[in-house]
Amino acid sequence: MIELEHKRVKSYVLAGNATVTLQSGKTGKHFTYRIKKHKENHDLYFIYSLVGEDNTKDYRYIGCYFTDNNYLHLVSQYRSISDISCPPSIRAIKFLFKDLDNIHEQLHVFQSGRCARCGRLLTTPESIKRGFGPECELMAMEKFLEENYS
Ligand SMILES: [Zn+2]
């Protein structure tokens, strides 16, 4: 299983160095985050949002989470604005951290994967489910067709 059962989400997200993808069951939109535990303070986690093409390094810091009081502290640009004007990636992470023990049924949480062909990090729900990145999926499919039907 690549999509996380809701009872497993908390331990995955707070494991210390997680890359996690959230998908809305309503809109299908998905967002990827990195959630890193502080080296000394184990109640403190830093949250980064994927903002570019490279899912190994294009992350921006968006806030931190304190496990001792379940408090999500966003960077100032997101702290004061209403939910409606909040970017969807921020809204999604707020939704996740609202209650890690009771994840909303419309929220799909995916652990990151690795491409079975080239080993690259996979962070979109489609690629995670397939086990291949888009290019490798095509190549693997072509190879399969060639071997079996030519
Ligand atoms: Zn690949």
Q: Domain-by-domain residue ranges, the chain?
A: 2-149
The 10s digit of each residue's pLDDT in 83-111 is 788 899 999 999 999 999 999 999 999 99
pLDDT over 60 (residue 121)? yes
32 Cα–ligand 1 center, Å: 18
d(CA 72, CA 35): 12
Instruction: Measure 143 CA to ligand 1 centroid, in angstroms.
Output: 14
- Distance from residue 119's CA to the centre of ligand 1 (Å): 6
Distance 140 CA to ligand 1 centre (A): 9
Distance 11 CA to ligand 1 centre (A): 27
Whole-angstrom distance, CA of residue 129 vs CA of residue 15: 22
Q: What is the pTM of this model?
A: 0.91
CA 44 to ligand 1 center in whole angstroms? 34
Question: pLDDT for 48-84, tens place per residue?
Answer: 999 999 999 999 999 999 999 999 999 999 988 887 8
Name residue 44's beta-bridge partners.
Answer: 66
Q: Distance, CA 29 to ligand 1 centroid (Å)? A: 22
Average pLDDT of the chain?
94
CA of 146 to the centre of ligand 1 (A): 19
Residue 58 Cα to ligand 1 midpoint, Å, equals 18
Q: Which residues contact 79 (CB under 8 A, 6 or more apart)?
A: 73
